[in-house]
A and B are shown apart, each in its own frame.
Chain A
Amino acid sequence: MKRILEIHHLTVRFGPRTILKDVSFSVHEGEIVSLIGPNGAGKTTLFNVISGLVQASAGDVIFLGRPITGWPPYKVCRAGIARTFQIARPFPDMSAEENVLIGLWFGKNFARSDGVLSKASEAAALLDLVGLHDKRHTPGKELTLSEQRRLEVARALATHPTLLLLDEIAAGLSPHAVNQAAQLVLSLRDRGMTILLVDHFLNLTARVSHRLVALDQGEKIVEGSPQEVLHHPEVLSAYLGEREPAEEV
């Protein structure tokens, strides 16, 4: 199977604190891989490094065989990696539709001229996919938490990604909305999308993932099938005996 993403010996330090320590793993084509771990394990930081928002102190991120370490976010996006944010950050004063259009106009298939300022049908299809068609004229700031999360997914898909990074799309949602989120992830998998997922919610990750990578305090402790990883003694102790968590960045 083709390797989409390879993380090689990645280390991130902020001043004296080591957030990620020598983490390595890879994601193959068509796979759903989940990063799990307690608060402060470094999951979100890892996403930030991949998407170019945080610089790695050492190690490499390889995407489709090309090192992309240290690229600015827009280049990472145009190479084919899209992400959502744990705390949803829609453009507050743009409508849901305009939020999606930004991804369409500037993402991987970006165009250089003003001639692209239409793609409304593509935007409508994406909003349909995440069930936001009725809210397309609602400003980002007026959407509910669950709607904002789904808007983030639609907006990320608008950039035509090869790899989708989903950060805690189920956190803080009602059981019903968690189910919707799981359905959405599964439907994306069926469309052949490769997905790297961060979730605290083991119920969701175990249900949709092919493989889990468990992190604790910035280090990878184990990697494997959901069954293996969730019953691994170190994973159990990391979750049950949650130590004083370092601040999530």
Chain B
Amino acid sequence: MKKKPIPSFLIFWAVILVLALWPLVTAHPQWVCRVFTMAFLYATVAMAWNLTALSGLISLGHAAYFGLGAYGAALMDHYGSGNPAVTLTTAALAAGVYGAVCAAVFRNLRGATFALVSLAAVEIPKVIADNWESVTYGSLGFVGIRPLPLVHMGRVTVDFGGDLTAQYYALLVVLLAGTWVHFKAIHSRWGWALRSIREDEQAAGVLGVPVYPVRWSVMTLSALLTGLCGGLYAHLHGFVEPPVVFSTHLSAMPLVLSILGGRFRWFGPALGALVLYPLDQLVLHPVLPAGHAAVYGLVIVASVLFFPKGLGLRKK
């Protein structure tokens, strides 16, 4: 008898459900919570990155937006208000404005040229953060960024700064919100516009799809969300420094996670992140403290060769 395969999106919801319930019903070591919190963050970055990719452009420079978000939050925290509503808005705007400018300046670039230029675009904010010492403290970076605050909900007080389980749930909500945006970028009229642009932008244009406005706005949104994640990162870690938040690894990771999970499925990048990041941190890191990051390289090779459409989908 032939069995029907279980649809992958059910697996995705099952994973989310297990992740949502697990800390409630069993012992939950804080360091495991921490790893998953970061997995949720990087899953959101992966989906933000994929918004640009859905319009047909592969960016190798999303670290620029992540770093600008992290620095935006850190600078606002240091010189202005430490209220996360303010710092995170600053983070999103800093990255969003840079993303909007890049989207306008690179409007005629495609394919490898765009990828190379996006890679180069990371260097501008990175060099500024690294060298404008009177403002950014140069390569020392910022330490002591205030953690996320205490939140009073009725009689209950939740400490998002100190309680790792609370952070875990906060980031799970961020992940779900990001998944909703990413879902809309595939399954909606907007999603069809992006798809037509990706498949043939000249044909899309003459059929009435506003190619440049759609692409500009999706790239700006992609940068904005990545910046928001950068801002969250700054508050979660408490310190930022240029080589970390502008690292090439941050540019490459969303690509790896998205390809692993499937770039054209609404849950693809998130699934990739929820599988690979914990695997890397919880299983490989203890075994191979120095070489564990090589798994990202291996995963990209393996998925392109064996399941280019994403985990669980066979190569046609």
Chain A positions within 8 Å of B, measured between CB atoms, are 51-53, 72-74, 76-78, 82-83, 85, 89-94, 101-103, 105-108, 110-111, 113-114, 116-117, 155-156, 158-159
Chain B residue contacts of A101, Cβ below 8 A: 192
Contact mask for chain B residues 207-222; partner A; CB cutoff 8 A; 1 contact, 0 none: 1111110000000000
Total A-B contacts with CB atoms under 8 angstroms apart: 82
Residue of B199, B204, B206, B210 ringed by the most chain A CB atoms within 10 A: B206
8 Å CB contacts to A: which residues of B157-193?
A: 188-189, 192-193
Contact (Cβ within 8 A) B211 A73: yes
The answer to whether B195 touches A94 (Cβ under 8 A) is yes
* CB-based contact B199/A110 at 8 Å: no
Shortest distance from the beta carbon of B145 to any chain A beta carbon, whole Å: 40
CB pair B208 A103 closer than 8 Å: yes
* Residues on A with beta carbons closer than 8 Å to the beta carbon of B193: 106
Determine if A89 and B200 form an interchain contact, defined as CB atoms under 8 angstroms apart: yes
A83 touching B196, Cβ below 8 Å: no
27 inter-chain pairs at a CB distance below 8 angstroms, sorted by A residue, are A51-B206, A53-B206, A73-B211, A74-B208, A77-B205, A77-B207, A82-B206, A82-B207, A83-B206, A85-B203, A91-B195, A91-B196, A91-B199, A93-B199, A94-B196, A102-B204, A103-B207, A105-B192, A106-B193, A106-B204, A107-B207, A110-B208, A114-B188, A114-B189, A155-B207, A158-B207, A159-B207
A73 touches B206 (CB 8 A): yes
> How far, in angstroms, from A143 to B189 measured CA to CA in the complex?
25
Q: Is B30 an interface residue (CB 8 A)?
A: no
Q: Which residues of A contact B204 (CB under 8 A)?
A: 91, 102, 106
With A114-B188, A114-B189 already in contact, the answer to whether A53 and B209 are too (CB < 8 A) is no
Contacts of A105 in B (CB 8 A): 189, 192
A residues less than 8 Å from B131 (CB atoms):
none
Query: How many angstroms between the C-alpha atoms of A111 and B203 in the bound complex?
Result: 19
Most buried by B among A74, A82, A110, A114: A74
Instruction: Identify the 9 closest CB pairs spanning chains A and B, nearest first.
Output: A73-B205, A106-B208, A91-B199, A77-B208, A107-B208, A74-B210, A103-B207, A89-B203, A106-B209
